[in-house]
Structure 1
Amino acid sequence: MAAALRLLERVRYRPPGRGCGDAAGWGQRERSYWRALRRRVLGPPVPPFASPCQVGAPVLRATAATVGPERLGGPELRELAAALAAGLRRGPCLGLSAPQLGVPLRVFATELTPARCEQYPPPLRRAHRIEPFQLRLLVNPVLRVLDSRLVTGPEGCASLHGFSAYVPRHWAVHVSGVDECGKPVSWEATGWAARIVQHEIDHLDGILYIDRMDPRTFTNVSWMELMD
């Protein structure tokens, strides 16, 4: 019996495809027997997901729905708020939107801790005004540009894991909305905080940073390790 179990563990499920030369990427994924069996028995995961959806998921390209007033303060929205906060800190991410967790609602959360700020090189911190701010969650956010100057800076995204590019963003914005309980939220964000806010609101409109990036700067952040 033990030998049979070990044999089953070595069995791999490979979806049909044309191999590594396929431009569409078919045939690249392998799933263990046990993972395939678990998926068959338990069914697919239910939103909000524990990990961000990756590019290709339809929810990332759809316009998120407005949250109705009857849902404010309810268990569904409180669960979503907790999932966004947990996802931010587990990532770690600087911002996370509800569509990234499979929930097509106009909600996002963002946080920049002092420890995370210290990870950026001092010249970048000065140039882009990278300063810490506390956790903020916004429901039905409305964006207004305060400073229309476009500043180009590096961005990544939890839904395009392993990649980055330079993206132009407005230098200062004002965002308003409510929190998960319906309490008004108003925030004037400048520099890096403004960049994060614009990135997350783009998610709510089905826009990814690759739609706004300088395509010549699109980079696999681990390209050197992959060459070893």
Structure 2
Amino acid sequence: MIRPIMKDHIFLAQKSAPAGPEDLYLEQDLLDTLAAHRERCVGMAANMIGVAKRVIIFDDEGTPTVLFNPEIVKAAGPYGAEEGCLSLEGTRKTKRYQTIKVRYHNRAFQTRFKTYTGWTAQIVQHEIDHCNGVLI
């Protein structure tokens, strides 16, 4: 289901709760909502559609990828970036890392690790910031 984009800064500034198997429905809602905004958006967190759970979706080199409970466990190669967001007006400067290692849960809620680099790493960092209540 395509969901409206949350723009309430107070809601977006709250840390999201861990996701569980009961939150699997968010995968389809995020897929549908991201697809509806594909001309302006490459990633989303569940709080951007009004659900304060640690679930993100992002364009992983052409493939939409969903992670449950993502956390950055290692980061290297800091650089400055300027980013926009569907939930916020304008762009903001922020610090990002060229390479990140992420611990997350898959659809079966098994713990997995993956390393991301470059543009994909930047998208993932932006969405994890949303989970942590960080507004860039």
* TM bracket, shorter-chain basis: 0.7 to 0.9
Deviation (angstroms), 1:184: 4.1
Aligned to 2:13: 61
How do 1:2-151 and structure 2 match up within 5 A?
A: 50-56=3-9, 58-67=10-19, 71-72=20-21, 74=22, 77-92=23-38, 93-112=41-60, 132-147=61-76, 149-151=77-79
Aligned to 2:84: 156
Instruction: Give the aligned residue type for 1:65.
Output: A
Deviation (angstroms), 1:52: 1.3
> Would you tell me which structure has more strand in proportion to its own residues?
2
CA, structure 1 residues 167+84, in 2 after alignment: closer, same or farther (shift >3 Å)? same
Deviation (angstroms), 1:182: 2.0
SS at match of 1:50: coil
Q: Contact conserved, 1:146 with 1:174, CA < 8 A, in 2?
A: yes
Q: Contact conserved, 1:78 with 1:180, CA < 8 A, in 2?
A: yes
Q: Identity, % of aligned pairs?
A: 27
Deviation (angstroms), 1:59: 2.0
Q: Contact conserved, 1:138 with 1:185, CA < 8 A, in 2?
A: no
Give CA-to-partner distance per residue, 1:76-132, whole Å, 9 cap, x none: x232110111111111221100111111111111115xxxxxxxxxxxxxxxxxxx2
Give CA-to-partner distance per residue, 1:19-48, whole Å, 9 cap, x none: xxxxxxxxxxxxxxxxxxxxxxxxxxxxx8
CA distance in structure 1 between the partners assigned to 2:108 and 2:28 by the alignment: 12
**Which stretches of structure 1, 4 residues or longer, exceed 3 Å deviation after superposition?**
none
Q: Contact conserved, 1:141 with 1:201, CA < 8 A, in 2?
A: yes
> Would you tell me which structure has more helix in proportion to its own residues?
1
- TM-score, normalised relative to structure 1: 0.54
CA distance in structure 1 between the partners assigned to 2:85 and 2:66 by the alignment: 18
- TM-score, normalised relative to structure 2: 0.86
Q: Contact conserved, 2:2 with 2:36, CA < 8 A, in 1?
A: no
Rg: which structure is higher? 1
Deviation (angstroms), 1:49: 6.9
Aligned to 1:205: 132
Deviation (angstroms), 1:180: 3.2
Task: Give the CA RMSD over aligned residues.
Answer: 2.0
Deviation (angstroms), 1:194: 1.1
Instruction: Give the aligned residue type for 2:5.
Output: P
Instruction: Give the aligned residue type for 1:144.
Output: V
Aligned to 2:102: 175
Q: Which segments of 5 or more consecutive residues in structure 1 lack a partner in the other structure?
A: 1-47, 113-131, 210-228
